[in-house]
Amino acid sequence: MVSVKETKEGTIIKVYVKPKSKRFSIKFENNEIIVHCTEPAIKGRANREIEKKLSKIFKVKAIILSGHASRHKYILIKGLSFEKVKCRFKI
């Protein structure tokens, strides 16, 4: 099961990040959300790309809550319910 939790501030998703990919994409493999980002994991560049791209996809602010130095991250999608996140990701 994909790790998604609804809170009063929005929805928290757990993702696994693969930096230095050819293009930014989001995939589902083995019941896990995989984010392929183009930036390397140097000086927070991959984290900034993930926040920027997810904010653009959802049209609301996306914030990395934990996992800044890890490939496993918890990301808050502010102001969106679980149902809206689920529809956008097609979970």
pLDDT tens sequence across 4-30: 899 999 999 999 999 999 999 999 888
CA distance 56 to 65: 18
Reported confidence tier of residue 90, pLDDT bands at 50, 70, 90:
low
**How far from 13 is each of 5, 8, 25, 68, CA to CA, in Å?**
7, 14, 16, 14
Yes or no: say if 74 and 89 are a contact pair by the CB < 8 Å rule. no
Nearest to 36 by CA among 50, 24, 46: 24
pLDDT at 81 over 80: yes
Average pLDDT, the chain: 92
pLDDT at 37 over 60: yes
Nearest to 90 by CA among 52, 51, 33, 6: 33
pLDDT at 89 over 80: no
